[in-house]
């Protein structure tokens, strides 16, 4: 199957002329000859721009490659701007598989004799069909109350096998890119594919998605900004998920939002606040926030609330990355480019020998023009592209753990542009980040850590006298042991030194004996050879 799939992929790439995207200097004569010999696989779109051909090829290769194209559209450090813009047009919609087949999968997963055992109504026509799964509307029977309106998500049949085969080929291509492309090591394609592998395989496990949704719902349980639908965890399996059906307005339907009198400025600000809250407060953020996954509640349009679905992709950050990111954001907002450059050095994101003054000047050149402008006049895609170009010039390595964050930031940009183009993103985000940093490094942070560690110390405090006595009792023994070890090390060094001197003496005498033998002095040769033998034996046995 792998050989057949490999041929299919190569056929598609050649038919869309993607071999022409490789610079001529990286196409030796024998590869050009091999390409010309495949006369039946000519470029079918010779007049189309390169980015268009790339998008069409990925579309024809299937869901896995569509997903890859969507991810690459956010990686403007890897692609030219026009390619990334074209890939951003890829839709998260594919041809659905038959509804009766989905019904059979659901019955098998939930152990049902018939779909009517659990659902009083089940629609065979899917509500939505994505690259990994599709969703069906249903009404679920409840033992202790009225029937509940739900949606049932089911993984496409046979998709795992196809994904694993395609991932194997992607890994081989990444390995080749790492070895042979000029920027291969810096761009870390193996790590990018590994991150993609983890992301897409996680999406195949709907129990993981259910757990993500439950966590996000708990994080925003009493929030006025975000609502996550209830998940019926008892009815979730690895390939089937049942959750509350929502009836919000798609966030992309601006006309409907305005028609119900939604406060668009507040909605846009809350989008920024929700993102930063997830990243910095919870270290757990929805990383697939494209408009198809975001709705707005129809209730209280003057106090609007987001509704988030499809939690298959979430991102996490460790405390160190989180602190560096927050400090970088605040430094950007304060136009402190020197601190931005120094933070990149301290975090190890750029080489330690980087000239801080030159890096600071490059960052200022990119970022200074964007401040004090409304969102409508700022292209974050353009800014990120310039930052990535700057990063390439200073040998900054791609940070795989930040890929999802970059992707989500681009989604936030698009969302803000649609809802309220006049939004001052800096004014909205800066107070939040400054407050978060103050909580992390000030007296409140110290007090919070003391409270968090209080139960541990309360448990260990009664044991402290015995632990201290035991440590003091063991101290003389440890000192004696250290003295013995030091003496042994000193003796070993002396032996090594003697062995080295004996080896040098043996070698010198051996060379001298060879010289004397050539001069015809047999007695002197014998004496020096004997001396060489003596020192050689001493070097071995000392």
Crossing angle for the helix pair 337-347 and 319-333, to the nearest 10 degrees: 160
Collapse the DSSP code of 43 into the 3-class scheme (helix H, G, I; strand E, B; otherwise coil) and give the result: coil
User: What's the token pair of residue 216?
Assistant: 């996000």
Chain mean position to CA 158: 26
H or E element at residue 154: strand 148-155
SS (H, E, C) 307-354: EECCCCCEECCCHHHHHHHHHHHHHHHCCCHHHHHHHHHHHCCCCCCC
Count of Cβ atoms closer than 10 Å to residue 3 Cβ: 7
User: What's the token pair of residue 421?
Assistant: 């183009």
Tokens 């803000």 belong to 416
Residue ranges in 181-313 assigned as alpha helix (H): 184-187, 189-203, 206-219, 254-259, 264-276
> In terms of C-beta density within 10 A (0-12 exposed, 13-18 middle, 19 or more buried), how is residue 478 classed?
exposed
User: What's the token pair of residue 470?
Assistant: 């035991």
Count of all residues that appear for the chain in the document: 542
C-beta separation of 250 from 311 below 8 A: no
- The reply, when asked if residue 153 is annotated as ligand binding, is yes
- The reply, when asked if residue 131 is annotated as ligand binding, is yes
C-beta separation of 324 from 443 below 8 A: no
Residue in 288, 321, 424, 473 annotated catalytic: 288
Tokens 């006595």 belong to 469
User: What's the token pair of residue 299?
Assistant: 């209730």
Tokens 């353009």 belong to 382
User: Measured between alpha carbons, how far is 107 from 122 in angstroms, rounded to an integer?
Assistant: 12
- The reply, when asked if residue 135 is annotated as ligand binding, is yes
Is 253 among the catalytic positions? no
- The reply, when asked if residue 210 is annotated as ligand binding, is no
Tokens 């390409």 belong to 35
User: Measured between alpha carbons, how far is 346 from 189 in angstroms, rounded to an integer?
Assistant: 24
User: Measured between alpha carbons, how far is 459 from 380 in angstroms, rounded to an integer?
Assistant: 51
Q: Where are the beta strands (DSSP E) in 1-147?
A: 119-122, 128-129, 133-140
- The reply, when asked if residue 132 is annotated as ligand binding, is yes
User: Measured between alpha carbons, how far is 410 from 287 in angstroms, rounded to an integer?
Assistant: 11
Please, which residues bridge with residue 150 across strands? 138, 244
- The reply, when asked if residue 128 is annotated as ligand binding, is yes
- The reply, when asked if residue 133 is annotated as ligand binding, is yes
- The reply, when asked if residue 410 is annotated as ligand binding, is no
Collapse the DSSP code of 485 into the 3-class scheme (helix H, G, I; strand E, B; otherwise coil) and give the result: helix
Binding-site annotation, residues: 127-135, 153
Binding-site annotation, residues for ATP: 127-135, 153
Catalytic residue set = 288
């Amino acid at each position: 199957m792998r050989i057949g799939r490999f041929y299919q992929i190569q056929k598609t790439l050649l038919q869309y002329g993607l071999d022409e995207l490789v610079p001529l200097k990286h196409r030796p004569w024998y590869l050009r000859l091999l390409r010309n010999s495949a006369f039946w696989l000519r470029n079918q779109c010779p007049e189309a721009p390169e980015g268009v051909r790339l998008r069409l090829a990925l579309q024809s290769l299937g869901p896995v490659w569509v997903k890859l194209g969507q991810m690459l559209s956010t990686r403007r450090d890897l692609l030219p701007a026009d390619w990334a813009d074209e890939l951003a047009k890829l839709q998260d919609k594919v041809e659905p598989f038959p509804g009766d087949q989905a019904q059979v999968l659901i019955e098998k997963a939930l152990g049902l004799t018939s779909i009517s055992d659990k659902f009083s109504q089940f629609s065979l026509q899917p509500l939505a069909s994505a690259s990994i799964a599709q969703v069906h509307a249903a009404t679920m029977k409840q033992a202790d109350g009225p029937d509940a309106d739900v949606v049932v998500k089911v993984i496409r049949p046979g998709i795992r096998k196809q994904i694993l085969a395609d991932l194997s080929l992607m890994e081989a291509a990444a390995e080749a890119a790492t070895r042979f492309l000029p920027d291969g090591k810096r761009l870390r394609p193996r790590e990018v594919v590994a991150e993609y592998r983890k992301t897409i395989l996680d999406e195949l496990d709907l129990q993981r998605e259910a757990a993500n949704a439950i966590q996000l719902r708990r994080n925003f349980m009493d929030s006025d900004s975000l609502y996550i639908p209830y998940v019926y965890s008892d009815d979730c399996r690895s390939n089937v998920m049942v959750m509350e059906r929502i009836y919000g307005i798609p966030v992309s339907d601006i006309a409907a939002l305005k028609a119900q009198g939604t406060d668009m400025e507040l909605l846009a600000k809350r989008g920024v606040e929700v993102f930063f809250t997830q990243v910095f407060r919870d270290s757990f953020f929805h990383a697939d926030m494209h408009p198809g996954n975001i709705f707005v509640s129809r209730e209280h349009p003057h106090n609007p609330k987001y509704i988030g679905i499809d939690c298959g992709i979430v991102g996490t950050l460790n405390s160190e990355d989180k602190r560096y990111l927050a400090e970088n954001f605040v430094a950007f907002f304060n136009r402190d480019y020197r601190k931005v450059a120094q933070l990149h050095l301290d975090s190890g994101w750029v080489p330690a020998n980087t000239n801080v003054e030159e890096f600071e000047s490059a960052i200022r050149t990119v970022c200074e023009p964007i401040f004090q402008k409304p969102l409508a006049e700022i292209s974050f895609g353009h800014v990120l592209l310039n930052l990535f170009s700057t990063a390439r010039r200073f040998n900054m390595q791609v940070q795989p753990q930040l890929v999802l964050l970059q992707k989500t930031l681009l989604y936030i940009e698009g969302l803000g542009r649609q809802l309220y183009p006049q939004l001052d993103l800096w004014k909205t985000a800066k107070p939040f980040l400054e407050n978060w940093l103050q909580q992390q490094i000030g007296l409140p942070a110290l007090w919070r850590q003391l409270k968090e560690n209080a139960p541990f110390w309360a448990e260990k405090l009664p044991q402290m006298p015995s632990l201290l006595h035991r440590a003091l009792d063991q101290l003389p023994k440890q000192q004696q042991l250290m003295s013995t070890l030091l003496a042994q090390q000193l003796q070993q060094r002396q032996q090594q030194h003697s062995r080295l001197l004996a080896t040098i003496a043996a070698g010198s005498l051996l060379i001298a004996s060879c010289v004397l033998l050539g001069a015809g002095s047999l007695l002197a040769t014998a004496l020096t050879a004997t001396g060489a033998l003596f020192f050689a034996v001493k070097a071995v046995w000392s």
